[in-house]
Every structure is written in structure tokens, then in C-alpha cells.
Amino acid sequence: MTRSPFDQANAGNPTRRKFLTATGMAAGLAFTGALPGIGTSNASTVEVNRLRDYPFALGIASGDPLPDAVVIWTRLAPKPLDPFGGMNDRPVAVVWQVAEDDRFRRIVRSGVEFARRESSHSVHVDVRGLRPWRHYYYRFIVGGHISPVGRTRTAPAPRQSVPGMAFAFASCQAWWEGFYTAYRDMARKEHDVVFHLGDYIYEYGVGADSGVRQQPVPVDFTRETMTLDEYRGRYALYKTDPDLQAAHAVAPWIVTVDDHEVENNWAGPISENNAPRNEFLVRMANAFRAWYEHMPVRIAQAPNGPGVQLYRRFQYGDLIRFNLLDTRQYRDDQAAGDGMKPPNPGSLDPNRTITGAAQEKWLLDGLAEKSARWEVLAHQTAIAQLDLQRGQGLLVPMDTWDGYDASRKRILGGARERGVRNLVSIAGDLHRSVASELRPDYADASSPVVGTEFVGTSISSGRDGMDHDADGLTILAENPHVKFHNFQRGYVRCEVNATQWVADYRVADRVTVPNGTVTSRSRLVVEDGNPAIHAT
């Protein structure tokens, strides 16, 4: 069973098996951060023969759109669950094309990249020289095989007037706990960009029967990921899902990392169960290397051993600026041993942080620029207070911003001091939908509402769920700033213009069967200049 912040941390404190890497070379590459395969290739070593099996079993993707650029991605893997995807050790020439039409009659950019074994035969192409705020189509060609066609879109020019846009955000997609019904719905709708806010994979084994999927997998997939090969295999398993592939193919994605891409509730160099630090750093390096190999991100997001640059900004003209945050790598350890606790000296310590000092300064300096009508914090978990104690007293999760009260006060108070016009937080992690009004200090009744938060539920983690569970009813009863709750699976679609932000909570009736349906559970509106939440 997957864990959300409302589950007791370290439940059972399982004994960690001895840390072993599947291959010494793979572990060494991950830890050093070396990226062989970036650059030119010796033509005599390049695989030019036609591949016998179809190599695009993991699909294609695009991401990190800029006004003049977008990253396009694929990974050659004719046998996705085999080591190295069933590829041999030779580099492979991959032709890529970007066109203005889906039949590729007007190709505007093209070239050749080399897929190499050291990078799991993944390909990242940072396509430059594109025009702002335009749709493009892309594909890859290897030998006699042509990939699916993907559609992407560049961002607007920095000062371009943007009358409106639509985007989606999602998180938490435990493969064995549900089908990706939400992604099937997402792929059918028009989105200018999609945000994935963490837990793209889970490090846990998928179980001997693969849970609701009932799909046979190699025995390695039933174990928790530790080695680079195991993390690579887990991404490959998830990416075989056709609905996930379809959602990647229709819009560019902007992605970050939460905890399960490495290990449940890790905090900086501190593991969930206090594994030896040097051992955990190797595991982090393995996890980040595999993440990079499977995500449509730039070389700037390639890991340097056990570290990766995740926080970055994306400007959508004069309408929205997205501040993509990293609340895992730089946070202090969870207070009071993690889990659900009353506010305590650790959680209230003014020196503790969830973002780290450098990222906090970067964020506050950026908020002062006031470059767009809507300023968005796109990140991992809830900023709003979430009290789960019925009646007197507080009981809050130590893994969310409730465990880092000083960070909440500095960021939300700082946004108000800097005159941010419309502050919106989008987040995931909770496996439930929660819409809240944001205050810098929930202990002070006079603390003003300075922003709005939309937390999206999981894609599949937690199985089907229900409209409200016991914790959800408590959240609604004890937190007057919470204006909406739901405990089903799904995602959030946002439609934004100069006068209002509409958050459409899309929920699946079931994810434990492959034929579930998705409908709109609630459409919530925030007006320009007023952070209060209203239902349409």
C-alpha cells in the first residue's frame, strides 16, 4: 500500500536489505554524474543496421517549453523490462524531426542524436529556433522504425499578451494500485502544458501479482528499488502504460521529484530509516540518474551524483509565471520523528526550512519582480494547515509545510510584502483533493488570506477511494480555510485568463478496473485580485 503524509511515518520500520548494486559500472556512472553519450560519436561504432524489434515501446515525450525551444525525448527499448531495454552495447543513430504539421510536410528542425547504452539508450534533444506559443509535431526514426507522433507547444514570448491558457497537473501514480484512467481523460483534452508534481514512480516492489494489474513481471520488480538498474526498470515498467504514453504525446510536460522517486519521506541526505549516509547518497545518485534518463528535461537537469537542479521557472507571457520548487533535497529532517504530530518545538523552529536558504531567496527575489498576473508555486505537498484532530488541539503532518511553519510564514508573508497580485499554489502528494485559502500564520486569527492552494489527488495511488473518507471529513470540519475535499483518484485541469482561474477537479469513478470513467467533481473559481474560492 502506498503512503501519503497522513500515514504514520516509518510504520513497522522494516529492516533494510543489504545495499548492493547490480553492476559496478552502473553505480559508478550514477554517482559521478558522468553523462557519456552527450556530444559527438565515432561513426565506426554507431549501430546502423535495422533493429529487428520495434524500439519505441516506452513512447515519446516533450517538456520544459521555452518561447523558442522544447525538449523532445525517447528511449530505445524493444524489450522494456529486460536489462538496458533489450539493447546491445553499441550506440544507435536516432533521426529526429520537428514539423509544423502532423504529416511532416513542413519540417522546421531535424537532426541526428546518438542513443548510448551508458544512458539506457535515451535521447534528449533540446530543439532550438522555434517560434513562441505555437504547436509543433515531432517524431523519431531508427532504421525502419518510426515512433508515434507527438504534439508539443512552445511558451509565449516573455512579455506577450496571453488572453488565456489551459494546463493540467497530476502526481502519485502507483502502477500496481490502479489503471491510469485519469491520463486517458487528460489525453483527450487540450492542454498547453502538463505539470507532474512528483511520485512518477514508487520505489516499492509491485508485488508478485502486480496488484490490480495482474500482469506478470520479472522477480526484480517485486523488490524495492536500490540499484541504478532497478530504478531504470521501474521507470520502464510505468512507461509501458498506454494512457501515460498518450498523455505525454499530446502536450509538453514540466516535471519535478517528490519522495518516491528515491524513497518514502526522504529529507536531503537523510533516508526514511536512517540508512548509512554514504549508502543513501549512492541510492540518491541511482534514482536521479534513472529519473533524468526517462524525463523530457534539459541537460541542466542532469544529475551531478546525488544532486539534481530541479527548481526553475517557466514564464507564460504576461498571464502566468510558474515557479517549480524542490521541497525534498534541501529540507531539514522531519520534526518529531515524522508522522502526524501536534505542533512542536521542531516544527515551530524559526531556523528550519523545507526549501533551503538558496531556493527560498531565489523564490522571494522572483516574486518581487511581479512579471505576470498570476504567480504560481508548483511543488510537491500542501502549504495550507491540515488539522486532523477532532475538537481541541492540533494534529498535523510533519512531512508537509505544517512541519516547517517558519518556511510557510517566510514565503507567504514574503509574497504579501512584495505585493504579489495573485498567488496560487498547486501541489500533490496527499492522495486527496484539497482546495484551501492560504494564510501565513494559521495560529493567528487576524492573519490575512494571501493566496489560494489547489492540491490534486493521486492518479492511482490509494486505489479507488471515495468522495470523503474519515480524514477528509475531519479536514473539512477542523480547517475553515479548506473549501473543498475529495478522496477519489484523478487530476486537476486549470483554465486561466486575466479575470479568473478555474480549477476543474477531474475524478475517476474507479481505477481498479481498466474501464473507469472520469467526470468533473467540482469547478472552483478564484477571481483576479481576490484569493477567495468559489464554486461555479
Confidence of residue 3 (pLDDT cuts 50, 70, 90): confident
Confidence of residue 36 (pLDDT cuts 50, 70, 90): very low
Identify the weakest region by mean pLDDT among 21-25, 161-165, 226-230, 324-328: 21-25
pLDDT above 60 for 28: no
DSSP element (H, E) containing 284: helix 277-294
**Cα dihedral value 4, 285, 65, 250, nearest 10:** -60
**Tens digit of each residue's pLDDT (9 = 90 or more) over 497-508:** 999 999 999 999
396 within 8 A of 340, measured Cβ to Cβ: yes
Cell of 412: 507567504
- How many C-beta atoms lie closer than 10 Å to residue 132's C-beta? 16
Please compute, for residue 520, the number of CA atoms within 13 A of its CA located in the half-sphere on the CB side: 11
pLDDT above 70 for 24: no
95 within 8 A of 132, measured Cβ to Cβ: no
Domains and CATH numbers, the chain: 37-152 (2.60.40.380), 165-535 (3.60.21.70)
Confidence of residue 5 (pLDDT cuts 50, 70, 90): confident
Confidence of residue 2 (pLDDT cuts 50, 70, 90): confident
Angle in degrees, CA 91, 94, 96, rounded to 5:
155
Confidence of residue 41 (pLDDT cuts 50, 70, 90): very low
User: What percent of the chain lies above the pLDDT cut of 70?
Assistant: 92
pLDDT above 80 for 25: no
Question: Could you tell me how many helices (H) and strands (E) the chain has, helices first?
Answer: 8, 24
User: What percent of the chain lies above the pLDDT cut of 90?
Assistant: 89
**Tens digit of each residue's pLDDT (9 = 90 or more) over 185-238:** 999 999 999 999 999 999 999 998 899 999 999 999 999 999 999 999 999 999
Taking residues 464-469, report their average pLDDT.
98
Residues 6+ apart with CB under 8 A from 469: 432, 487
Could you give phi then psi for residue 25, rounded to 5 degrees?
-65, -45
Nearest of 236, 299, 296, 288 to residue 263 by alpha carbon: 288
Q: What pLDDT, on a 0 to 100 scale, did the predictor assign at position 31?
A: 53
Angle in degrees, CA 482, 487, 488, rounded to 5:
135
pLDDT above 60 for 44: no
- The length of the chain in residues reads 536
Tell me the three state secondary structure of residue 150. Answer: strand
Q: What pLDDT, on a 0 to 100 scale, did the predictor assign at position 234?
A: 98
**Cα dihedral value 174, 178, 179, 182, nearest 10:** -80
Alpha carbon distance 517, 508 (integer Å) = 5
Q: Tell me 119's DSSP state.
A: G
Helix axes 228-239, 24-32, angle to 10 degrees: 80
Q: What pTM does this model have? A: 0.93
Angle in degrees, CA 312, 324, 172, rounded to 5:
135
Cell of 47: 549501430
Q: Helices (DSSP H) in 351-425: which residue ranges? A: 357-367, 405-417
62 within 8 A of 152, measured Cβ to Cβ: yes
Q: What pLDDT, on a 0 to 100 scale, did the predictor assign at position 51?
A: 83
Taking residues 286-306, report their average pLDDT.
98
SS (H, E, C) 194-240: EEECCCCCCCCCCCCCCHHHCCCCCHHHHCCCCCHHHHHHHHHHHHC
Taking residues 382-395, report their average pLDDT.
97
Confidence of residue 7 (pLDDT cuts 50, 70, 90): low
Taking residues 459-472, report their average pLDDT.
98
pLDDT above 70 for 133: yes
Integer CA distances (angstroms), 401 to 90, 312, 354, 386, 398, in order: 47, 20, 7, 10, 7
